Amino acid sequence: MPSSKNLQAKTLQPLTPAYKSIMELAPYQTGKPVEELTREYGVSDVVKLASNENPMGCSPKVTLAITEQLSQLARYPDGNGYYLKQALSDFTDMSIDSITLGNGSNDLLDILARSFVGADDAIVYSQYGFVVYSMLAKMQGATGIEVPAKRFGHDLKAMRQAVLDNANTKIVFIANPNNPTGTLLDSEALREFIASMPASVLVVLDEAYIEYSPESNNRALLDEFDNVVIVRTFSKAYGLAGLRVGYALSSPLVADLLNRIRQPFNVSRIALAAAAAALTDQSFISEVRKINAGQMRWLEKQFDALGLEFIKSYANFIMLKIEGAADINQALLEQGVIVRPLKGYGLEDWLRITVGLAEDNTRLIDTLKSILNAE
Ligand SMILES: Cc1ncc(COP(=O)(O)O)c(C=O)c1O
């Protein structure tokens, strides 16, 4: 079988992609699956701290809701996702016609780009912003404008200037908290930034990790500005990454546009039922938040004790600076610990580590110590 590398090197003539920039895209690098590590290195007891998943799993209410759907799998899901939208409407205090459902929040980011961005347009995002934003620009044949980060976070002043300098900007993507750096923006600074945006520029706040930072509540921006979209997911704190379900909150006009682009049954029957059940169990989310915060503090202490630099994180992962990150990553893999190297983000000396359960984090620190001592 030809490798995808060979395919990329070859020209596609006479078949050509819609935009030349599609050939610059590399397939999205996901965290190494546990099964792959077991196959490659023969290690059986694998700890995966690479994809910011919830080590606590999901609420038992979700499991029950899924079981109830099993006899209905021959039937298409509700294409409008009525019950989930109703539950989200109650939860977010947004009208049903302001909500768009997605097959994970990536689906919504994709729908947003396809709805608003053409080949003559530009997308603005931050250096060290979520990698999918630059991919979307390439996918649409548009210009991706990466604004240098400030202390690993968004430099809102510079991003504003980039928008003003590029009149063809259609979307500004801001992940808050940001992946992979874990930084969080001050809400007032964010509001000022949005207030300074031309009404023709959509500001997309990607809140994939917002449940870990509930003190940052930017929902009120939607009442004030029609050009704001908030995108959230059930993949992280809700523990449903395997199901693929997320939602966007926006003005009804934007939601109407997104719904024209959205595929008819983009969220499965099981995902709809699971997400609605997950929302009803906010005590599970409180517990997730509590355990994550405790384990985050523990990891910070361990890194301090090892003399390793890290960036204060407001999510369920933490970025660690370590010399020879690629070699350390390899040594961790060989001992069954999967973390995320960040070379692709231009962060060669850094690893992103998802906060696991106490036993996972202890294993990570013990393995790291043994690797560092052996050097
Ligand atoms: C900032 C950010 N946005 C969006 C996503 C996409 O998540 P999903 O498609 O699983 O909802 C991720 C996943 O890692 C993320 O980190």
Q: Using one digit for the tens of pLDDT, what is the confidence trace for 135-153?
A: 999 999 999 999 999 999 9
Q: Taking 90 as the threshold, does the pLDDT of residue 10 lie above it?
A: no
Contacts of 296 (CB under 8 A, 6+ apart): 313, 316, 318, 355
* pLDDT band at 202; cut points 50, 70, 90: very high
Q: Taking 60 as the threshold, does the pLDDT of residue 2 lie above it?
A: no
Q: Taking 90 as the threshold, does the pLDDT of residue 104 lie above it?
A: yes
Ligand 1 within 6 A of CB of 233: yes
CA angle 342, 291, 186 (to 5 degrees): 60
Which DSSP string do the residues of 275-310 spell out, in sequence order?
HHHHHH-HHHHHHHHHHHHHHHHHHHHHHHHTT--E
Percent of the chain residues past pLDDT 70, beyond the cut: 97
Q: Which residue has the higher pLDDT, 1 or 249?
A: 249
Distance between CA atoms of residues 189 and 235, nearest Å: 28
Find the 13 Cα to ligand 1 centroid distance in Å: 34
Averaged over 307-311, what is the pLDDT? 98
Distance between CA atoms of residues 221 and 229, nearest Å: 9
| Nearest residue by C-alpha to atom 13 in ligand 1 | 208
Burial of 97 (0-12, 13-18, 19+ CB in 10 A): middle
**β-pairing verdict for 246-249 and 99-102:** antiparallel
Find the 374 Cα to ligand 1 centroid distance in Å: 36
Of 3-17, 24-38, 222-236, 309-323, where does mean pLDDT reach its minimum?
Answer: 3-17
Maximum distance among all Cα pairs of the chain, rounded to whole angstroms: 59
Averaged over 1-7, what is the pLDDT? 48
pLDDT at 293 (0 to 100):
98
* Tokens linked to 363: 């294993």
pLDDT at 346 (0 to 100):
94
pLDDT at 375 (0 to 100):
72
Ligand 1 within 6 A of CB of 52: yes
| 299 touches 355 (CB < 8 A) | yes
Ligand 1 within 6 A of CB of 235: yes
Q: Which atom of ligand 1 is nearest to the CA of 178?
A: 1
Averaged over 180-195, what is the pLDDT? 98
Averaged over 295-309, what is the pLDDT? 98
Q: Taking 80 as the threshold, does the pLDDT of residue 6 lie above it?
A: no
Q: Taking 80 as the threshold, does the pLDDT of residue 224 lie above it?
A: yes
Q: Taking 90 as the threshold, does the pLDDT of residue 131 lie above it?
A: yes
**Given its phi and psi angles, is residue 128 left (phi above 0), alpha (psi -120 to 50 degrees) or beta?**
left
* pLDDT band at 340; cut points 50, 70, 90: very high
Ligand 1 within 6 A of CB of 81: no
Ligand 1 within 6 A of CB of 65: no
Q: Which three-class secondary structure state does DSSP give residue 321?
A: strand
Structural domains in the chain, sorted by start: 30-56+283-374 (3.90.1150.10), 60-280 (3.40.640.10)
E strand or H helix that includes residue 253:
helix 252-261
Q: Taking 90 as the threshold, does the pLDDT of residue 193 lie above it?
A: yes
Q: Which atom of ligand 1 is nearest to the CA of 130?
A: 1
Distance between CA atoms of residues 10 and 4, nearest Å: 10
Ligand 1 within 6 A of CB of 317: no
Single pTM value for the model: 0.94
pLDDT at 1 (0 to 100):
44
Find the 108 Cα to ligand 1 centroid distance in Å: 10
Q: How far is CA 178 from CA 175, 208, 275, 351, in A?
A: 5, 9, 23, 15
Q: Taking 80 as the threshold, does the pLDDT of residue 29 lie above it?
A: no
* pLDDT band at 338; cut points 50, 70, 90: very high
Q: Which residue has the higher pLDDT, 207 or 33?
A: 207
Find the 344 Cα to ligand 1 centroid distance in Å: 17
